[in-house]
Amino acid sequence: MSADIQARFGDRNLMVVSPDVGGVVRARALAKRLDNAPLAIVDKRRERAGESEVMNIIGDVAGRFCVLIDDIVDSAGTLCNAASALKAAGAEDVVAYVSHGVLSGGAVARVDASDLLELVITDTIQGTEAVNTAKKVRHLPIAPLLGEAIKRIADESSVSSLFD
């Protein structure tokens, strides 16, 4: 994912954003790979059961090209709400990179109607027709990564360095 971000958006004023406190380690690792890009965190909480989440942004995202990073997306509600909060806080644009795109129910429509410029998912989960034809969803293949891992195992070289 970092190579794709660098190739497509490396000339932008990048900021890596964790959509929740639990993803900070993942976001920090990506930020490190992106030439130590700055990091922001979306702090979300429910005021009362059944009420929508209140989102606060930890970090100054004004004028930044924000890259949300997460491991899995199902309904896409959190990512879409985070994108709206980032734009409201002055972000130039927001893209999201997610390892596993479940995208169930109305997720694709939610993404297409959101403030996200693009949602990038890997092909670890076979997409539905709606996912495959969505205007804001792009797929990254994992085959090259798997192939390189197999090659390194066969060569008895480091697989973990793939993720440094």
Residues carrying an active site annotation: 44
Element (H, E) at 26: helix 24-33
Burial 54-93 (b: 16+ CB within 10 A, else e): ebebebebeebbbbbbbeebeebbbbbbbbbbbbebebbb
* DSSP state letter for 153: H
**Residue 153, token pair as written in the block:** 């195992």
